[in-house]
Structure 1
Amino acid sequence: MPMQKFGLIFILCAISISSIGQTFKKRPKKERFPSFFGIVASPVIPNNFIGAVHTQIKDSSQTMTADFHNKWGFTFGATVRIGLTKRISIETGISQVRRIYQVGISIPDSNIYTSKKLSFINYDIPINGLFYVQMTEKWFMDASLGVSITHYPSDVQDSMQPEAKKNIIVQGRRTSSTYFAFNAGIGVEYRTEKAGTFFLGFGAKVPFKQPLFGVAILRQSGTGKQLFGYNPISAGYFTIDFRYFIPTPKKKKDPGNKPIIE
């Protein structure tokens, strides 16, 4: 359902873009700048500069330690670029982002050392201003700034049972289902008329607030004892961005203006 909702939003945006394009068609005297549709694929790179590779969680008695290790993730989606001038465009789209954490649990008093993988999936709608610098006829350098609307459909949870009467639960809890993030990027692109446009660059995404809490719970059946610990997770990350834009078909000349030969 969440992907369907965001798909509907993307379709409505595309319809709006089409309507704007029809408006410009009615103004033949003004120069029109092309819009492009493409796909984007990026590895998600954890770091300690705008995020955290490791987030440690301890219970109040300091008996249990949980380490949320942020691993490389992946994002894939569609993107639309709307030309405003020769040097400025608006870029938007929708992508699915997969974040992966390896959660290690250690309880030295009970000689328990175990781990579990948690995968977070969210949907991202960026709205960026894109600025070009033309280096050669076909090579361009791009820089972008903007914000993203990011949606987490649900919390995530998994469990492990290291001993017969001990059950460990690890969770990723959302602070809210939807939040905003700051985007920035830089890269180069190669434009061709027949093969399309190829882009390679680097990006950064920094949430305006921490979107997730890491939670670890140890339950011991038959005793009623429970250890509980939680900590916010810093979720900023870098990306290596690969984008491909399909070529824009050239408009055929109006044959009505050609002289009629009898």
Structure 2
Amino acid sequence: MKIRLNLLIFFCLVFIMNSSLLSQERVTTFGIQIKPIIPSSLFNTGEQLLDQNNVFFSVKPKLGYSFGMVIRKGLTKTLSLETGINYLKRGYDLSIDDEDLNFNENSNFNLINYEIPVSLLVYVKLSREMYMNVSGGVSMDIYPSDLYTFSPSFQNDVIVSDWIQTSLIANVGWEYRTEESGYFYLGGSYHRPFSPIAKEIVWYNGNGRDERPIFELIGNYVTIDFRYFFHEDPEKKKRKVKKSIKTGKTK
């Protein structure tokens, strides 16, 4: 039921945007992007801590990255619609610190998923070549599998909530546009899922212990965005052809 709701939200937004803007002139460009994922305590994207019977558990996001392709369809001089597909790899550090036994163990794991974002951009022209934009929209996030790691003293199960989920996305950036060499873009993005993306169950069973803390992986993250769009000429307007009612000939 939840997957169906996510799909309905995503495709309804795409349909509304396209159906309401079909009559506007557009320029379609194709681009590539890479987005380093920056660990931060801002926007609930930082470390999670839990103390259970004097055993301290920590799950800390590490540097990650996203890369993919972008398709931008210009609607007016100030509005564009963007979509594409991205590959994401996010790293986490798991730390278990048992103070009673003076025991510490660290492990790391990577969470991989794919994203199909749809966003509406609004431009502000700063100079002949420089533009600033802000955008917002939704993303369909695809998580292909659960994750399992272990050692002699613990095991770590990461169980994704659904293999298809939806998120809110927001972006701000600056763009340098050339007439022949394309567009160069630098910005930042914020990605916020509607619900936790996964449940992490850590079972610490070493040294005679039996502790099983549970973490909700929120999935929020911030990125620095580097994009390049290839140059494309504006699409030509189609001239309407009128037919004579009497003769059926075109005018």
Q: Name the TM tier (shorter chain).
A: 0.7 to 0.9
| 1:68-105: CA deviation from partner (whole Å, max 9, x where unpaired) | 01112110000000111111110000001111101111
Note the C-alpha offset of 1:112: 1.8
Unaligned stretches of 5+ residues in structure 1: 1-19, 25-29, 162-166, 253-262
Choose from 43, 47, 50 the match for 1:54.
47
Unaligned stretches of 5+ residues in structure 2: 1-17, 237-251
Amino acid at match of 1:188: W
Alignment of 1:84-233 (within 5 A): 84-161=75-152, 167-219=153-205, 226-233=210-217
TM-score using structure 2 length:
0.79
The aligned length equals: 218
Q: How large is the Cα RMSD of the aligned pairs? A: 2.5
Are the structure 2 counterparts of residues 251 and 82 from structure 1 closer, same or farther at C-alpha, using a change threshold of 3 Å?
Answer: closer
Amino acid at match of 2:217: I
Note the C-alpha offset of 1:233: 2.2
Contact persistence 2:165–2:193 (CA under 8 A):
yes
CA distance in structure 2 between the partners assigned to 1:243 and 1:140 by the alignment: 14
| 1:16-60: CA deviation from partner (whole Å, max 9, x where unpaired) | xxxx9xxx9xxxxx873211000011111222232232112455x
CA distance in structure 2 between the partners assigned to 1:131 and 1:52 by the alignment: 26
Choose from 228, 239, 244 the match for 2:223.
239
Amino acid at match of 2:180: K
| 1:197-233: CA deviation from partner (whole Å, max 9, x where unpaired) | 1010111111111112222112359x8x733111212
Amino acid at match of 1:107: D
Secondary structure, counterpart of 2:158 in structure 1: strand
| 1:98-155: CA deviation from partner (whole Å, max 9, x where unpaired) | 1110111122233320100110011111100011111211111111010111111111
CA distance in structure 2 between the partners assigned to 1:153 and 1:231 by the alignment: 20
CA distance in structure 2 between the partners assigned to 1:238 and 1:107 by the alignment: 32
